[in-house]
Amino acid sequence: MKAKKLMAAMLVLLVLALVGAGCGAPATEAPEATAEPIAEATEEAVPEEGVLDLGGREIRAATTGDCPPWNMVDENGNPDGFEPDLLAEICKLANCTVNWSITNFDGLIPGVRAGDFDAAVSDIFITEERDKVVDFTEPYFRSGEVVVVRADEERIKSYEDLATLDVLVGSETGTSCEEAAREVAKVPDDRLQLYEGLDTLFLALMNGDIDAVVDGSISAKRYVEKYTPQLKIVGEGEDAMFGGGSSAIAIQEGDEDLKEIFGKAIQILKENGTVDNLLVEWGVLEEVPETSESTLPDLGGRVLRAATTGDCKPWNMVDEGGTVTGMEVELLEQICELANCELDWHLTNFDGLIPGLIAGDFDIVVSNMTATSKRDEVIDFTTPYYRSGEVVTVRADDDRIQSYKDLAGLDVLVGSETGTICEEAAREIAKVPDDRLQLYEGLDTLFLALVNGDIDAVVDGYMSTANYVELHDPKLEIVGRGTDDFIFGGGPAAMGIQEGDDELNEAISAAIEYLRDNGILDSVLEKYEIPPLEQYPD
């Protein structure tokens, strides 16, 4: 069983660490991995003939061998763990073999770039910086960072304490954990100690050379178990985690065949339950989730007539080639991959979305649309995928308006987009009287009216507003930053569905929940630089 293999591999890692070998050693060749799967899939995957055929290609794969349960070295010196098992399953589908190399984490990406390796794995997060120099496959997992301290440590209660307490913090060099320690936990450079290899890092904590470790939640848990009862994770449950990202296989940039075939193989292994089973067998998950890709509703290739406005960055927009793009477009594409549907996009004004849906012109509508009780009387809504709020924008030289609360009493003209929740917020929350509220069709027209002096303020959602403020920089500014009145109103954003189309609603909602639970929704939001409400800049 994997549990026994994991314990044996952990003992090997401990011995290697104590004799000074392992993490600091140069890259070494390991025996070629067998293409036989270590764990059986829940059902046999049958890809289209030739689609996943790499023609017996030998894949030069690299890993660190010291990041259990993701990867480790067994008692025979062979790579073992979730990721080696995953690559074995991929090669079973894609007709390839694996020749493993072991190197330090900060040698993985450079090795792929230099052509020394075809693929690299070690719980590598997809980041913007890495994506500039290597390609990534479909993600296979999402996790976050935690803080580990010695069991008798009482000063550190949260990752937020690392910025202010006089403590030394350690992390593995070149990893997303190092980045999280710097960028999220705000650990200053003079108190951040970097190590090559997790064994060395956690031994430094054990020996008192550092006071805390920032590491991925899964590998951190393994080391806490390994050194129990001497170490502990700070915080409880989800509150203990911060940062995080999606783990994927790094591929040499331009190797499109390998990227595409590995990506399709991962997708198949997700759908047939193999990935979940491996995660359970290696102790990453306690049990197979009730909702997996293989249990999601199937729309049977249905073509969805989807409508949006195309002018609400970053939610939706039209690129230079006339293609609809943006966060919501990409989200719907991800949904259709899961639910077996296709998209036929249409553009209309915001106040045409719901009437078009009611009339049967569209099957689904999106444009950062808030699910309100009034709208819910005439259409149905999916599970929400976001929650946002409104802000007030003025010209940079106008210092009369300091808060949305000023809009009710000052003699100013306020603009908003017709038919939106922002219009409702201007009326109901900011209490702007009808004779001073100007409504516009389309955000371009709305913000140009503000720039040109036709109105004095705009009420709109934060994310789209931020894009228009940047577009017209330095002519516009958002009022109230750093105050309790910065964000107001708001509500859950969801996709509008024709009333009574329960089959579509169930399929779309199930896919949204799956993407949310597996961290893919967060990845799409992150790609378009959309933070959750509590992370809005102040």
Does residue 18 register a pLDDT over 80? no
Same domain for 370 and 402?
no
Pair (483, 449) in one structural domain: yes
Both 391 and 423 in one domain: the answer is yes
Same domain for 157 and 203?
yes
Indicate the pLDDT class of residue 35, thresholds 50, 70 and 90: very low
Q: Contact 135/260 with Cβ under 8 angstroms?
A: no
Q: What is the pLDDT of residues 404-418, one digit of tens each?
A: 999 999 999 999 999
Q: What CATH number did the domain enclosing 324 receive?
A: 3.40.190.10
Higher pLDDT, 347 or 216: 347
- 400 in a structural domain: yes
Same domain, 119 and 252: yes
Total-model pTM: 0.50
C-alpha dist (Å) from residue 471 to 224, 457, 536: 48, 16, 19
pLDDT number for residue 532: 53
Q: What is the pLDDT of residue 104?
A: 93
Q: Are residues 254 and 209 in the same domain?
A: no
The mean pLDDT value for 374-395 works out to 91
Contacts of 211 (CB under 8 A, 6+ apart): 149, 150, 153, 155, 156, 167, 168, 169, 205
Token pair, residue 23, equals 């993490």
pLDDT (tens digit per residue) in 476-518: 999 988 787 888 887 788 999 999 999 999 999 999 988 887 7
7-16, 306-315, 350-359, 521-530: segment of lowest average pLDDT:
7-16
Domain end, chosen from 225, 258, 281, is at 281
Q: What is the mean pLDDT of residues 291-314?
A: 87
Instruction: Kindly state the average pLDDT of the residues 372-390.
Output: 88
User: Are 104 and 122 in the same domain?
Assistant: yes
Q: Are residues 499 and 478 in the same domain?
A: no
Do residue 367 and residue 516 come from a single domain?
A: yes
Confidence of residue 288 (pLDDT cuts 50, 70, 90): low
Q: What is the mean pLDDT of residues 292-309?
A: 87
Is residue 83 located within the same domain as residue 70?
Answer: yes
Domain co-membership, 6 together with 125: yes
Angle subtended by helix axes 462-471 and 443-451, to nearest 10: 50
Percent residues over pLDDT 90 in the chain: 62
Number of domains, the chain: 4
Tokens of 335: 């949904």
Range of the domain at 449: 386-491
Is the Cβ–Cβ distance between 96 and 52 less than 8 Å? no
Question: In this structure, are 76 and 193 located in the same domain?
Answer: no
Average pLDDT of every residue of the chain? 85
Strands (E) in 284-340, as ranges, are: 302-308, 311-312, 316-318, 324-325
Q: What distance in Å separates the CA atoms of residue 475 and residue 186, rounded to the nearest whole number? A: 32
pLDDT digits (tens, 9 = 90+) for 436-447: 999 999 999 999
Name the amino acid, one letter, at 262.
F
